[in-house]
Amino acid sequence: MTLTESRDVSARLAALLAERIEDVIDLWEELGEAGPTFGSPVAGRAEERRERYLRPLARVLVGALSGSADHAAIYLDERRRYASAELDASGCAAEFGRRLPGELGRLAGLVADRLPVDLALEPLEQLHRGLTEHRDPSARVLFIGDCLFVETRALLVAREPATPVDVRHIFFSTRQQLAEVNSAIVNEVVAYRPDVVGLSLFTFEGVPPFTAAWRAAAAPWGAPGATRSVAGLVELVRETIENIRSVSDATIVVHAPGGVPVGRWRRRLGALPEHSWGQRRLLRALRAGVRDVVAHTTNTILLDEGPVVAAAGGARRIGGPLFDPADVPAGYFHTTRLGARIAEEYAGVLDDHRLLARAKVLLVDLDNTLWAGVMGEGAVVHDRELQRLLLRLKQAGVLLVALSKNDPQTIRWDELELAPEDFVLHQINWVPKPDNVSQAVAALDLAASAFVLLDDNPVERALVTEQVPGVRAMDPAAPVTRRALERWFELPSTTQTAEARRRTEMYREAAERRSALSQTHDYATMMRSLRLRYDVRPAGPQDRDRVLELVQRTNQFNTTTQRRSAAEVDDLLADERYGVHVATLGDRFGDLGVVALAVFARERRELDAVIMSCRAMGFGLEIALVSRVLAAEGPGPVTATFVPTERNAPAADLFARAGFREVGAHRWELSVDADRPVVPEWFGRPSGVGGR
């Protein structure tokens, strides 16, 4: 069956089921536990269940079969309403896979007099694959808010079919105590470990203090008191962010209110303003307060609902139902237009997160990217805003690589906001760009997935992404590109540490180092030629940000890959039961600063973690670090654990090389009488290298 024929059959099935809505509802009621309600008493009494859940559900089923993506999204989400909360995503898919064949066969049987059952089954099975098929998600999102996020979740998941998203929702209402919600937030963030958190405290019902202030602001005499509550409401946003930050460093999308919903009378009387004077004043103050919190909090993104509401025609319109009530009557679910627009905003955030959250290098084309025109042919018009943005990214730790088919002598650097030294590598030549990118990947010793290409030429973008798998590409002319680059500052792959600001210099030195090593062949001689120097010392307060960065970013040389939040790192550094040791490294090319750390659990005498930046791999520093840590922590047996992952193979033989004996699955032991590891001969005496 062709795609057109399939759509025709689906539309015909939709029309037939629309004529037999009562039969569909009767069938679902008859199925009981095997039907949409799973037999749950929460679905309500028979009449309520029928009119407020099953009838709207049948109508969105018809809309979905008619080809409406929004109807399909809400239908699939509502089918999960009564599924067991104890099932994870794969378990839920398996349960639907067991239940649905019988139901779909009977639905097809309802129209068997007008449409063969095998033809009717095809569109039904196609639609319900959204319930029976499970794929690993590309991102995990945790929503914290009221019913706005119910519809946002449904529509967001439907907008991401090629890149599945797993979404959880902490729902609160005006009837809940804030202490209960805050406790639930912390527990869920710890258990779920989301990539992105959405936080909306002032939409629809909102938190109780906001709801009270909003109602008070509607009355002329209540406006002053409502405005006085702004400081407390803004502080509530700040406290909630701090609660999340205490256990997670996920990017947080913070909503500023847009004034939805409009009060009942103002919604009906179009001649009245959408909001009272007091409510408008409250909204302005709250937006300003939330903007200030986001501006002074790292790794947060502002989602101002005000412009979203205005662009959609105002709060009356966007707060109204997404579906015509004559099509889908109001029931347990009452999807608004706002949810659809907010889902689009989050789809953009997730696109940027997938593209840049783990990126470390931006490959930058020059002609018609950093400026309009070809510099080798004469005058050009510089995109100074983009150049300044790239400079800020470089200062936040992003590595820039100049990648251009050009004569390097024609580049007039004195015209740019960027200097030659702002680029870790210059790949400016006539070599095919895929070859230049492969050379950059090798020179910087990073995975191809850490590279993103910024190039105006669609052919070059296609060649690079096809020939160097893992590299992604961006079109500098696309509006979403500038948005993504601005958001990069709020994603995990950028930081504001001293090491981040020096990252370009350090990676350039590393590339020179690899070039120097390629000139000799004897390993010890190669190492001695670098004039390596190192130091190992207890971590101090000045090392906190770098320790956090190593713990959160290092994947390859990491014996456990256990991620610790900022709060957990603070506790670790303050806990005398643990020794946290940092190692610095330098050579004849320059200082790399703090590049490794080891955590020693003193009470159980265990190397809890050994972590080293990839730029320090290959010099034997890990053995020097373990040797110095064992000496500092005193005599006695020592144990260690190596937890293998897909990416930490470089650390797999560390303990064997350090003289430990494997005593169980991934468990290692260095007995009291065993030889201790020896610092490699090519290291000079320890010295204060790269101290901060």
Position 163 in a domain:
yes
CATH number for position 656: 3.40.630.30
Average pLDDT over residues 41-49: 88
Backbone angles phi, psi at 626, to 5 degrees: -60, -40
Quick one: which of 172, 195, 175, 174 has its CA closest to 185?
172
Same structural domain, 274 and 384:
no
Number of domains present in the structure of the chain: 4
Q: Within a domain: residue 515?
A: no
Considering the chain, what is the average pLDDT of its residues?
87
Asked if 563 and 552 touch (Cβ cutoff 8 Å), the reply is yes
As beta bridge partners, residue 582 has 537, 597
Predicted pLDDT of residue 161? 65
Question: From CA 563, how far away is CA 553, in angstroms rounded?
Answer: 9
Tell whether 63 and 172 lie within a shared domain: no
- Is residue 294 situated within a structural domain? yes
**CATH number reported for the structural domain that contains residue 189 in this entry:** 3.40.50.1110
Q: Tens digit of pLDDT for each residue in 285-326? A: 999 999 999 999 888 999 999 999 999 888 888 888 889 999
User: Within a 13 Å sphere around the CA of 96, how many CA atoms are in the beta-carbon half?
Assistant: 25
- What pLDDT score does 294 carry? 94
DSSP state, 613?
A: -
Q: What is the pLDDT of residue 264?
A: 64
CA 549 vs CA 21, 304, 493, 566, 595: distances in Å: 58, 30, 10, 9, 10
Domain boundary among 449, 475, 494: 494
Angle between helices 3-19 and 21-31 (to 10 degrees): 80
Asked if the structure places residue 523 within a domain, the reply is: no
44/124 same-domain check = yes
Is residue 584 located within the same domain as residue 533?
Answer: yes
Judgement on whether residues 175 and 295 belong to the same structural domain of the protein? yes
The answer to whether residue 617 sits within a structural domain is yes
Is the pLDDT score of 5 beyond 70?
no
Is 204 domain-assigned? Answer: yes
Find the helix or strand (DSSP H, E) in which 598 lies.
strand 590-601
Q: Are strands 557-558 and 533-538 parallel, antiparallel or unpaired?
A: unpaired
460 shares its domain with 538: no
Q: What is the pLDDT of residues 582-638, one digit of tens each?
A: 999 988 777 889 999 999 999 999 999 999 987 787 789 999 999 999 999 999 999
Residues 155 and 285 in one domain: yes
pLDDT at 691: 36
Computed over its alpha carbons, how large is the radius of gyration of the chain?
30
Greatest Cα-to-Cα distance within the chain, rounded to the nearest angstrom? 90
With bands split at pLDDT 50, 70 and 90, how would you rate the model's confidence at 520?
very low
In a domain, 675, yes or no: no
Residue 499 lies in a domain: no
Residue finishing a domain among 353, 383, 417: 353
- How far does the chain reach from its first CA to its final CA, in angstroms? 68
Same domain, 349 and 297: yes
Tokens of 118: 């095998």
Residue that finishes a domain, picked among 84, 117, 134? 134
171, 313: one domain: yes
Looking at the structure, do residues 217 and 159 belong to the same domain, yes or no?
yes
286 and 156 belong to one structural domain: yes
CATH number (domain holding residue 397): 3.40.50.1000
Name the token pair of 663. Answer: 């005593």
Which pLDDT tens digit goes with each residue over 70-119?
A: 999 999 999 998 888 788 888 999 999 999 999 999 999 999 999 999 99
Are 369 and 452 within one domain? yes
Domain extent at residue 287: 136-353
State the burial class of residue 85 (Cβ atoms within 10 Å of its Cβ: 0-12, 13-18, 19+): exposed
Report which of 611, 598, 683 is spatially closest to residue 638, judged by C-alpha positions. 598
